[in-house]
Amino acid sequence: MIYVAPSAILVGDVTVEDGASLWHGAVLRGDFDSIVVARDSNIQDNVVVHVDRGLPAVIGRRVTVGHAAVVHGCSVGDDCLVGMNSTINSGAVIGSGSLVASGAVVRENAEFPSDTLLAGVPARPIRTVDETLRRRIDLSWPIYRELAKATLPARAAIQGDSSKQVALELSDEFTRLVREE
């Protein structure tokens, strides 16, 4: 089962795996490419997840995406915490076990290794995730899983459908320019 707040909006090619939760005001728009929210992840209030053609958004297992974050056409590895009001731009790759600090802005096509604490504008590696941050990551997703079970309506997992994607010539050109930067 997954847990979806009544005010969450899902459009296009969106997959939401078992145990995941989508909170109030979250918007997931898989109109140009796919979005995957993997098992036991939580997309908190007012998060926006969007894509560019050829740049899907993949959110790994046991990931917490904090309130009002923007996750755009990027990949977030398993066991990560994405802080409140942070932005991860198109083409970026966040390694497993990492923490993106609140307010951080990850540039397009930036790649960071596993177990990295990222902070700043633009985001840069600060240090390796220590025991305390690891524990915060490990506590965040089960807290939200249990809160979702207690407070949000349950439904079957959602399997994406690529036929719901829209192909526009201008979006292909835009993606090409993002990749060249």
Instruction: Give per-residue pLDDT as tens, 79-97.
Output: 999 999 999 999 999 999 9
Q: Which domain holds residue 80?
A: 2-180
The CATH number of residue 131's host domain is 2.160.10.10
Number of domains in the chain: 1
Q: Are strands 124-128 and 105-106 parallel, antiparallel or unpaired?
A: unpaired
pLDDT of 169 reads: 82
Residue 74's alpha-carbon distances to 35, 77, 80, 127, 173, in angstroms, are: 10, 10, 14, 22, 18
pLDDT digits (tens, 9 = 90+) for 118-140: 999 999 999 999 999 999 999 99
